[in-house]
Amino acid sequence: MTYPVLAALSAVLLPFVGFLLQALMGKRSQNGAIALITIALSLLAAGYTFAQVWGNEPIHVQWRWFTIGQQVFYVGLMLDNVSVLMLLLVAFVALPVHAYSVAYMKGDSGIHRYWTYLSLFCSAMLGLVVADNLLLMYVCWELVGFASYLLIGFWFTRGAAVAANKKAFIVNRIGDIGFLIGFAILYSFLGTLDLNTLFGQEGLFATASGAEASGIIAHPKIPAGWLTTAGLAFFLGAMAKSAQFPLHVWLPAAMEGPTSVSSLIHAATMVAAGVFLLARIFPLFDDTALLVIATTGAVTAFVAAYFALTQYDIKKILAYSTISQLGFMMVGIGIGMYQLALFHLVTHAFFKCLLFLGAGAVIHELQHLNDKHQLGIDPQDIRHMGGLRKYMPITFVTMLIASLALAGFPLTAGYLSKDALLIHAFEWAALQNGASVAIPYVLAVASFFTSFYILRLLAKVFLGSPAVGVMTSARPHEASAWMLVPMLVLAACSLFPLFTTSPLNYGQVWLLQKILPMAALPPLPLLHVLVPLLTTMATVAMTLLVWQWYVKQKYPLKAGGLFFRLSQQQGYVDVFYDRIVAAAVLRCSNVLFWVDKHIIDGAVNGLAALGRILAAIAGWVDQRLVDGFVKLVGKLAWGLGNVLRRSQTGRLQDYMASVFFIILVILLYHLIVQA
């Protein structure tokens, strides 16, 4: 076993060991030391693995797992540029979240459970990104879902938290069925689930070279219809896990969990798993599947950004922001540029994690003031904030950096990845026909919405005057060092130097140079100037608009119009699910319950009653007839035995008399016969 393999195994197993130790220790593991140490060591192991594998030949190792009939299944690690990048990213983002949690979760009565669940969650996600086959990936996929269920419902005494984790679990089960169907189709036709065998450079699928962004050569053993079905089935799994419309409803509800959990789920772990899966199996998708992915991503990006415009819950704004950015990534997959989707996934991980941690710092402080002064406010409602820049300057600066990165402003990492996606979306659309040419324009509108809602959040939270007067006298204070240091680290990672020395040219990004696909889109040079210029101008315009509306309080619109209500009520999608889908399921369940109780149970109970009657009849026959006949034979034998026993007297004259009697009978018989 080579050192990179050993390091990768350590990166995955160390958090799992932490999970086991904390589960055994129970309430004695409240300080989080075990979780912190194991994730820190995991990060070191992931960093070593990345340094050894990045830019070099992939490493693939396998061990025998189990056997069914003649089929042997293996478990192993697939270490290539994509997997080690994700391995490092997950561990790198998880460590600041762990450190932040020390202060954020301090004093919580269930803190020992928090650390246990968090370690399991990280281990499952790390295992998912290095799994070498679809079955092992599916196992880790389910573990990630299970751990997220535990974390979202961490405060299980709250009814909303319980409803949220159930919603997340059920919606993700819909997607998991798709994942299961997808790899079942591949296994049925090809007899293997090994990623290297299927999608490696010399695997059963190969990416065509040439001008097309996604020329796919399907393996001849899979008919075209089944190939499309398999691709769409896998996409269904990614839709649920990465919260694509209309399966996005679980992610805003998941905000009922601790904010530190939200930051990890939204950054580089659970919601990123769907994008990673599609990038991993990218050669599988034909043109039909890719068009569906791109269209769904564009709709999701627009709809989620539109919903975020009017939300008042700070975490829900960021939740819809995550959904929208995941839509951008899906478009990257759909246009054949999966490396851009992964690049945006990486940059988004840093600034979105930072946004959630900053929001958590604000919520933490407002909750403290709310409890101390009995304000009776919702600490997550941005209408109860304002003016916090004076009291929490470091939090403000870090969130400003993250917000600019989200908006795609120059000198940030988000500018590089987001504009790259927009540019290539327009280049892709130039080769298309029909309604698909609208996809980049939909993304552009979603990008403008993004600038507005994130700047609105900043203005409502940090600028202007405090909405609650007591905050001026109470003087909110900055978060503790345990919370600020992770935020500062993530702020540095949200700027361009981590990815390139050329802040305005994404072509020089080191990450993209190692995971480029064989195919590329025909470049349109004008777009490389026009798109960044327009998006930057849009951000500046939105800044001026937000300043007028929310800082100078010159808001000209009336709340309550159709479009406002449609945005604030999230398109009434949840209402539709509750009143139509859930109600229909409940009605169907009631019908099935009636059928089960009165027909199926009635038939079963009727058969049971008939069985009891037949058993009674059989018992009577057995007892009265069969047993009676047997007893009669016994009694006859017993009587005959008594008669014969009494003839055995031991006296000679009795025996002579008996012989005489027998001879007499025989003579009489002969006389009668002769007569």
> 476-516, pLDDT tens digit by residue?
788 889 999 999 999 999 999 999 888 888 888 888 887 76
DSSP, res 69: T
516: alpha, beta or left, given left = phi > 0 and alpha = psi -120 to 50? beta
Distances (CA, A) of 278 to 53, 169, 257, 272, 435: 22, 21, 27, 10, 24
Peptide bond into 246 cis (omega under 30): yes
Q: Specify the pLDDT at position 210.
A: 34
Burial class (CB in 10 A: 0-12, 13-18, 19+), 662: exposed
Q: What is the mean pLDDT of residues 515-525?
A: 70
Q: In the structure encoding, which two tokens stand for residue 253, read together?
A: 């509800």
Alpha helices in 500-572 (DSSP H): 525-546, 562-568
Pick from 209, 229, 245, 224: which is nearest to 331 by CA?
Answer: 245
C-alpha atoms less than 13 angstroms from C-alpha of 510 in its C-beta half-sphere? 9
One-letter amino acid of 279:
A
464 vs 626, more confident: 626
Residue with tokens 């210029």: 533
* Exposed/middle/buried for residue 437 (C-beta within 10 Å: 0-12, 13-18, 19+): middle
Give the angle 594-596-598 at the CA atoms, nearest 5°: 60
Distance CA 150, CA 161 (A): 10
DSSP output for 302-333:
HHHHHHHTT--BHHHHHHHHHHHHHHHHHHHH
Classify each residue of 551-578 as buried b or exposed e, where b means 16 or more C-beta atoms within 10 Å of its C-beta: beeeeeeeeeeeeeeebeebbeeeeebe
> Which region among 67-71, 273-277, 596-600 has the lowest average model confidence (pLDDT)?
67-71
Phi-psi sector, 191: left (phi>0), alpha (psi -120 to 50), beta: left
Mean pLDDT of 616-636: 88
Of the pLDDT bands very low, low, confident and very high (cuts 50, 70, 90), residue 226 is very high
pLDDT band at 209 (very low <50, low <70, confident <90, very high): very low
Q: Decide if 547 contacts 554 (C-beta within 8 A).
A: no
Measured distance CA(264)–CA(550) in Å, rounded: 30
Closest alpha carbon to 276 in 264, 265, 266, 268: 268
Residue 568 confidence (pLDDT) above 70: yes
At residue 208, the pLDDT reads: 39
Beta strands in 130-185 (DSSP E): none
CB 448 within 8 A of CB 542: yes
Rounded CA-CA distance 306/295 in Å is 17
pLDDT value, residue 472: 62
Cβ neighbours of 470 (radius 10 Å): 14
Which among 375, 391, 533, 520 has a CA at the least distance from the CA of 465?
391
Closest CA to 306 of 227, 248, 373: 248
Distance of CA 141 to the CA centre of its chain: 7
* Distance, CA of 463 to CA of 106 (rounded, Å): 29
Confidence of residue 212 (pLDDT cuts 50, 70, 90): very low
Residue 117 has pLDDT above 80, yes or no: yes
> Residue 619: how many CB atoms within 10 A of its CB?
10
**Residues 421/431, Cβ–Cβ less than 8 Å:** no
Which tens digits make up the pLDDT trace of 436-479? 899 999 999 999 999 999 999 999 999 877 776 656 666 778 88
Chain centroid to Cα 80, Å, comes to 23
Tell me the two tokens of residue 595: 């059928």
Task: Say which DSSP state 581 is in.
Answer: I
| pLDDT tens-digit readout, 55-72 | 888 999 999 888 888 888
pTM: predicted TM-score of the whole model, two decimal places: 0.86
Percent of the chain with pLDDT over 70: 95
The number of C-alpha atoms within 13 Å of 407 and in the hemisphere containing its C-beta is 29
pLDDT mean across residues, the chain:
88
Distance between CA atoms of 287 and 227, rounded to whole angstroms? 11
Amino acid at 20: L
Total number of residues shown for the chain: 675
Check whether 215 has a pLDDT greater than 60: no
If one counts every other C-beta atom within 10 angstroms of the C-beta of residue 277, the result is 25
